[in-house]
C-alpha cells in the first residue's frame, strides 16, 4: 500500500486537499478517516433517542468531519475562523478564501450572502458599541445542515473514483524513515507508505495530533481555550441581527475580570445538539433550511489563556465537561433566572417557561456546580450587554446549556506552507492542528497544503494559479 499522498482526516481540510491535488495532478492519493461514510453517520439523538456515546461520535468523525453536522456557515472573512493570516498574510488568505468559496458554489452552496449591506452593518455596529459590545463585520454564506450534507456528498461522489478512501480506519502511529517516506500504522493491521502525508484530524483529533507531533519531535504550543454555554432564546428576539448578518459575531471585555467573551455559531431558528468526545458529551448548535424551530441558539465563550506551568488546556476543558455529565448524565440546561437566584432548574420550571428546549435530552440542573465563578460571571455580563443591544436575550426564561468547549487548543509548529516541524513532506492542517476553527479556513488550509505539495514536486507557478478554471 504505497501512495504519493496520504491524507489523515476526511473533514473539510482533508477533502479540499484531495480536491486540489486531483484537479492539478494524477498523484496516487489515499484519504483515511476513523469515522464512516456520510450516509452511514447516524446519530441516535437525531432520531429522538439519548446519546449512546458512539465511538467514534457520528457527529464529529467520518466523511465531512464535524462540518457535516454543522449548519454549514461559510465565513468569507479573514478576521475570524482561524490564524492562517499570521502565516500567509491577510491578502493571500482572502484570495484563497474566495477560491474556496467558488469551489463550494460549484458543488451546490447557495448564492445568498449575508452581511453585504454596509449601511445596515454600520448602524448595528453603532448600536453594539453603545452596549459596550464590538460587532465584527463579516460576510457569511449559509448552507444549512441539509445543504451542507448535499454539498459534502457531491464532493465524495466526485472523489470516490479518483482517490482511495478508507473509512472506519484509524491511524495508530506515523513514522518517518531516513529516506523521508511516511509510514502509517493502521487499525486494521495494515501498513501504509506515502511520500507526503497531510494530517487533518479535526477538532475531535486534537489529542491525537498532539501525541503524533510529540512522537515525531515536533513542537506543540497551546492556543487559548474557549469555554462556555449555549444560549437559547426566542428567534424573534434576535431577528434584527440575524436577518442582516445571520451569524452575529460580538466581542465583550468583562468589567469584573477584563476577559474576552464572544458569541460563536449563531443558529437562527435552529436547534441545540450534542457532541461526544471519547468519554464526554458537550453541546453545540445547528440550523436547517427546511426545518425551522421557534428558537435561535448561540454560544457564549470565554477565552482563557493559561500560563506556565500549566500545559493541559484540553484536559481542563474535558474535566469541566465531565462535571456536567456527572451531574446530568448528559449536558445540563438551566434557566438564566434560576442561575441568578442560585437555584437549580427543575423539569417543572423548564416546562413552565415560554421557551421550549430544542434539546430534549438535556438535564435540568445548576451550572454553578460545573463552571467556575469567573466564567459564569463573564457570561452573565455578556448577556446583560447583549440585552441592551437586543432586548429579550437576558430574560429569566433564557435557557443556558452546558458546557460548550472548543478543543482546538493544540497548536502544531508549522511554516507558512503548513509543513510540520520542518519535516519535509509532512503537513498539519485544519482545526486539529490548531490553525483554523471553521469550515472556510479549514478548507483553505487544505488548498494551501495541496499547493505546497505540488510546488515541492516542481510544478510551475503558472500551473498553481488560483485563476485556473
Instruction: Give the DSSP letter of residue 461.
Output: G
If you write DSSP's letter for every residue of 367-434 in order, what string do you get? Answer: GGGTS-HHHHHHHHHHHHHHHHHSTTTTSTT-EEEEEEEE---EEE-B-TT-BBTT-TTEEE-SGGGT
State pLDDT tens for residues 290-347: 889 999 999 999 988 877 787 787 788 889 999 999 998 889 999 999 999 999 999 9
In a domain, 188, yes or no: yes
One domain, residues 341 and 447:
no
270, 295: one domain:
yes
Q: Give the CA distances from residue 66 to residues 69, 286, 296, 439, in Å, rounded to whole numbers and listed in that order.
A: 6, 11, 20, 9
Torsion, Cα of 446, 10, 299, 250 (10° steps): 10
Range of the domain at 31: 2-119+137-222+409-464
378 and 458 within one domain: no
CA distance 155 to 38: 11
Whether 26 is covered by a domain: the verdict is yes
| 130 within a domain of the structure (yes/no) | no
How do residues 419-440 score in pLDDT, each as one tens digit?
Answer: 999 899 999 999 999 999 899 9
pLDDT tens digits for 226-272?
Answer: 899 999 999 999 999 999 999 999 999 999 999 999 999 999 999 99
Same domain, 175 and 235: no
Please report which confidence band the pLDDT of residue 469 belongs to, taking 50, 70 and 90 as the band edges. Answer: very low
Indicate whether 216 and 148 sit together in one domain: yes
Q: Which grid cell sits at 51?
A: 446519546
Q: The cell 463579516 sits on which residue?
A: 138
- 128 inside domain: no
Same domain, 416 and 312: no
Helix axes 313-328, 206-215, angle to 10 degrees: 150
pLDDT digits (tens, 9 = 90+) for 60-104: 899 999 888 788 999 999 998 999 999 999 999 999 999 999 999
Q: Please report which confidence band the pLDDT of residue 223 belongs to, taking 50, 70 and 90 as the band edges.
A: confident
Stretch (H or E) spanning 328:
helix 313-328
Residue at 126 is within a domain: no
**Chain mean pLDDT for the chain:** 93
Give me the sign of the Cα torsion angle 147, 153, 159, 165.
positive
| Lookup result for grid cell 446519530 | 43
CA distance 328 to 162: 46
Note whether residue 124 is domain-resident: no
User: Which of the listed residues 386, 406, 426 is the one where a domain comes to its end?
Assistant: 406
Which pLDDT belongs to residue 446?
A: 98
pLDDT of 155: 98
One domain, residues 171 and 200: yes
CA distance 306 to 322: 20
Give the dihedral of Cα atoms 112, 114, 119, 125; nearest 10 deg.
Answer: 180
**Residues 240, 115 share a domain:** no
pLDDT at residue 46 is higher than 60: yes
**pLDDT tens string 374-420:** 999 999 999 999 999 999 999 999 999 999 998 666 899 999 999 99
Domain limit, last residue, from 406, 426, 453: 406
pLDDT at 428: 97
| Residue 332 within a domain | yes
Q: Is the pLDDT of residue 55 over 60?
A: yes
| Alpha-carbon span 196 to 104, nearest angstrom | 26
Whether residue 278 sits in one domain with residue 190: no
CATH number, residue 181: 3.50.50.60
Residues 364 and 418 in one domain: no
Are 67 and 81 found together in one domain? yes
Place 467 in a pLDDT band, splitting at 50, 70 and 90.
low
The verdict on residue 127 lying in a domain is no
**Structural domains in the chain (count):** 2
Give CA–CA dist 128/121, Å, rounded: 10
**pLDDT at residue 277, rounded to an integer:** 80
Residue 308: exposed, middle, or buried by beta-carbon count in 10 A (0-12, 13-18, 19+)? exposed
Domain end point (choices 406, 423, 449): 406
Query: Do 303 and 364 fall within a single domain?
Result: yes
Amino acid at each position: 500500500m504505497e501512495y504519493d499522498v496520504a491524507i489523515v482526516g476526511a473533514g473539510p481540510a482533508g477533502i479540499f486537499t484531495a480536491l486540489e491535488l486531483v484537479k492539478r495532478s494524477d498523484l496516487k492519493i489515499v484519504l483515511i478517516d476513523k469515522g464512516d461514510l456520510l450516509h452511514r453517520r447516524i446519530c441516535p439523538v437525531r432520531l429522538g433517542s439519548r446519546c449512546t456515546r458512539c465511538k467514534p461520535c457520528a457527529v464529529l468523525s467520518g466523511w465531512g468531519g464535524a462540518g457535516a453536522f454543522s449548519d454549514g456557515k461559510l465565513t468569507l472573512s479573514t478576521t475570524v475562523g482561524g490564524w492562517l493570516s499570521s502565516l500567509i498574510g491577510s491578502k493571500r488568505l482572502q484570495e484563497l478564501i474566495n477560491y474556496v468559496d467558488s469551489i463550494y458554489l460549484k458543488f451546490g452552496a447557495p448564492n445568498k450572502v449575508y452581511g453585504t449591506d454596509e449601511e445596515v452593518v454600520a448602524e448595528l455596529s453603532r448600536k453594539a458599541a453603545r452596549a459596550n459590545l464590538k460587532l465584527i463585520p463579516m460576510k457569511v454564506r449559509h448552507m444549512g445542515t441539509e445543504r451542507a450534507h448535499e454539498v459534502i456528498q457531491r464532493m465524495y461522489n466526485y472523489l470516490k473514483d479518483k482517490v482511495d478512501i478508507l473509512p472506519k480506519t484509524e491511524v495508530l502511529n506515523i513514522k518517518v524513515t531516513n529516506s523521508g517516506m511516511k509510514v502509517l500504522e493502521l487499525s486494521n493491521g495494515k501498513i501504509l507508505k506515502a511520500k507526503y502525508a497531510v494530517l487533518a484530524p479535526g477538532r475531535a483529533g486534537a489529542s491525537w495530533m498532539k501525541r503524533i507531533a510529540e512522537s515525531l519531535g515536533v513542537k506543540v504550543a497551546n492556543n487559548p481555550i474557549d469555554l462556555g454555554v449555549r444560549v437559547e432564546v426566542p428567534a424573534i428576539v434576535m431577528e434584527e441581527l440575524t436577518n442582516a448578518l445571520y451569524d452575529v459575531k460580538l466581542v465583550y471585555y468583562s468589567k469584573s475580570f477584563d476577559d474576552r467573551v464572544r458569541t460563536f455559531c449563531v443558529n437562527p431558528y435552529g436547534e441545540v445538539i450534542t457532541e461526544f468526545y471519547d468519554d464526554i458529551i458537550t453541546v453545540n448548535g445547528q440550523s436547517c433550511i427546511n426545518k425551522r424551530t421557534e428558537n435561535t441558539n448561540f454560544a457564549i465563550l470565554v477565552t482563557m489563556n493559561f500560563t506556565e506551568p500549566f500545559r493541559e488546556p484540553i484536559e481542563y476543558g474535558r474535566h469541566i465537561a465531565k462535571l456536567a455529565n456527572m451531574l446530568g448524565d448528559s449536558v445540563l440546561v438551566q434557566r438564566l433566572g434560576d442561575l441568578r437566584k442560585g437555584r437549580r432548574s427543575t423539569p417543572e420550571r423548564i416546562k413552565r417557561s415560554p421557551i421550549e428546549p430544542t434539546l430534549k435530552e438535556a438535564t435540568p440542573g445548576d451550572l454553578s456546580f460545573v463552571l467556575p465563578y469567573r466564567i459564569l460571571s463573564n457570561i452573565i455580563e455578556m448577556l446583560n450587554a447583549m440585552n441592551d443591544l437586543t432586548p429579550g436575550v437576558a430574560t429569566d426564561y433564557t435557557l443556558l446549556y452546558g458546557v460548550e468547549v472548543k478543543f482546538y487548543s493544540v497548536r502544531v509548529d508549522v511554516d507558512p506552507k503548513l509543513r510540520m516541524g520542518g519535516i519535509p513532506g509532512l503537513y498539519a492542517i485544519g482545526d486539529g492542528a490548531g490553525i483554523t476553527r471553521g469550515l472556510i479556513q479549514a478548507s483553505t488550509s487544505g488548498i494551501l497544503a495541496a499547493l505546497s505539495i505540488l510546488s515541492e514536486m516542481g510544478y510551475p507557478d503558472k500551473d498553481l494559479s488560483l485563476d485556473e478554471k
